[in-house]
């Protein structure tokens, strides 16, 4: 198995096109054609993480946070980034990061937080736009089922938790096979044909466009397949920032704070004034989520759990909900489990290791 095989498995789960514009997910150091001898998974890559990888015989480190966000003008070991680059190259260690694309997919970072907190009936807090396409294609009546099945198998026709969704309109298609063609119906150079056809309409995710079109071409009986792709302004309910969900049973605020502390393994929670009411609906965002406060308020959440809140930003709660800052590292520390599960599902006999080290740069004095 090669490094690129592991990358493909992760990026199939969290397509890189869904990372934010400032981000730099992907293979940061290494060679995708290298043989994968072992994978060490961590939230961040540090010099200590590279030492652990070498000690455990892993030549690939998979992390959530990219090491490199911008170009390096020199690599002389002046700082920790340059030293990590030097050590990784010298010891043939591949470093791969999957960051905001993992934040933005439905079963990514925020779903893991929701799982730890026991939230139910979850949905994306701020759904992403400009990520959906409408595919129109036309198939002979007797081949329509085969074409639809191929599209569905390639992930077309998914709307929320509904699958194999399509709209179908019967009609008549016409064409005349020209010289040099190999028509499925009619004869080369023959007269115009009129065929009973079905117009098939399905939604597709932009990230799946290639695989859907390949499936269409492979299943369709025509030599030249007619299709149209239209970009939609609809938001995608399976993509976007943050998540909101409900507790199985309402909890007192103090009890819920204790639940957060225990479930998220965080030593301290910075929060705004409690509201003296039961907690039922909870909004979450792994990492730095202050940009989602208005969405959390709009959702009717009682609590908004995230990290990296600044002093003056706490005032913005304005009595609408309770902001609970549990720390950036603490909110994302279970992300490693997502990577492990992706790799283990695809390659069950491959050595995948979770780092035993904390990469949290923040320390606490109790």
Q: How many domains does the chain have?
A: 3
Pair 110, 96 in one domain: no
Pair 258, 183 in one domain: no
Pair 142, 223 in one domain: yes
Pair 114, 247 in one domain: yes
Q: Which domain holds residue 319?
A: 106-126+240-326
Pair 122, 136 in one domain: no
202-215 burial, b at 16+ Cβ within 10 Å, e below that, comes to: bbbbbbbbebbbeb
Residue 359 lies in a domain: no
The CATH number for 26's domain is 3.40.1390.30
Pair 24, 95 in one domain: yes
Pair 38, 92 in one domain: yes
Residue 252 lies in a domain: yes
Pair 93, 167 in one domain: no
| DSSP at 159 | B
Residue 364 lies in a domain: no
pLDDT tens digits in sequence order for the chain, 366 residues long: 999 999 999 999 999 999 999 999 999 999 999 999 999 999 999 999 999 999 999 999 999 999 999 888 899 999 999 999 999 999 999 999 999 999 999 999 999 999 999 999 999 999 998 899 999 999 999 999 999 999 999 999 998 889 999 999 999 999 999 999 999 899 999 999 999 999 999 999 999 999 999 999 999 999 999 999 999 999 998 999 999 999 999 999 999 999 999 999 999 999 999 999 999 999 999 999 999 999 999 999 999 999 999 999 999 999 999 999 999 999 999 999 999 999 999 999 998 999 999 999 999 998
Element (H, E) at 340: helix 335-346
Pair 195, 112 in one domain: no
Residue 288 lies in a domain: yes
Residue 360 lies in a domain: no
Pair 229, 274 in one domain: no
The CATH number for 199's domain is 3.30.70.120
Element (H, E) at 167: strand 167-175
Residue 366 lies in a domain: no
Residue 281 lies in a domain: yes
Distance spanning both ends of the chain, measured CA to CA: 46
Pair 204, 282 in one domain: no
- Where is the domain boundary, 211, 234, 257? 234
SS3 content of the chain, % helix, strand, coil (to 5): 35, 30, 40
Pair 244, 302 in one domain: yes
Residue 361 lies in a domain: no
């Amino acid at each position: 198995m090669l490094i690129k095989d592991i990358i493909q498995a992760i990026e199939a789960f969290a397509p890189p096109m869904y990372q934010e514009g400032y981000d730099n997910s992907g293979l940061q150091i290494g060679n995708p054609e290298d043989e994968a001898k072992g994978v060490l998974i961590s939230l961040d890559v540090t010099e200590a993480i590279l030492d652990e990888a070498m000690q455990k015989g892993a030549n690939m480190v998979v992390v959530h946070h990219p090491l490199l966000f911008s170009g390096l003008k020199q690599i002389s070991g002046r700082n920790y980034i340059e030293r990590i680059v030097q050590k990784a190259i010298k010891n043939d260690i591949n470093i791969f990061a999957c960051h905001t694309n993992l934040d933005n997919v439905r079963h990514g970072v925020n779903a893991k937080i929701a799982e730890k907190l026991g939230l139910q009936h979850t949905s994306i807090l701020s759904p992403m736009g400009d990520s959906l396409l409408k595919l129109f294609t036309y198939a002979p009546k007797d081949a329509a089922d085969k074409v639809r099945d191929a599209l569905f198998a390639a992930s077309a026709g998914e709307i929320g938790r509904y699958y194999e969704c399509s709209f179908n309109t019967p009609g008549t298609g016409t064409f005349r096979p020209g010289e040099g063609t190999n028509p499925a119906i009619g004869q080369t150079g023959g007269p115009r044909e009129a065929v009973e056809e079905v117009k098939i309409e399905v939604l597709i995710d932009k990230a799946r466009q290639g695989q859907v079109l390949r499936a269409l071409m492979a299943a369709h009986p025509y030599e030249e397949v007619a299709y149209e792709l239209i970009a939609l302004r609809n938001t995608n309910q399976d993509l976007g920032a943050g998540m909101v969900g409900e507790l199985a049973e309402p909890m007192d605020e103090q009890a819920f704070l204790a639940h957060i502390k225990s479930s998220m393994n965080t030593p301290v929670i910075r929060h705004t004034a409690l509201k003296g009411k039961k907690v039922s609906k909870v909004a979450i965002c792994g990492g730095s989520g202050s940009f989602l406060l208005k969405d959390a308020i709009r959702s009717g959440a009682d609590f908004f759990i995230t990290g990296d809140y600044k002093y003056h930003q706490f005032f913005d709660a304005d009595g609408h909900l309770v902001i609970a800052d549990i720390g950036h590292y603490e909110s994302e520390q279970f992300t490693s489990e997502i990577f492990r599960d992706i790799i283990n599902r695809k390659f069950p006999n491959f050595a995948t290791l979770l780092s035993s080290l904390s990469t949290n740069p923040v320390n606490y004095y109790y």
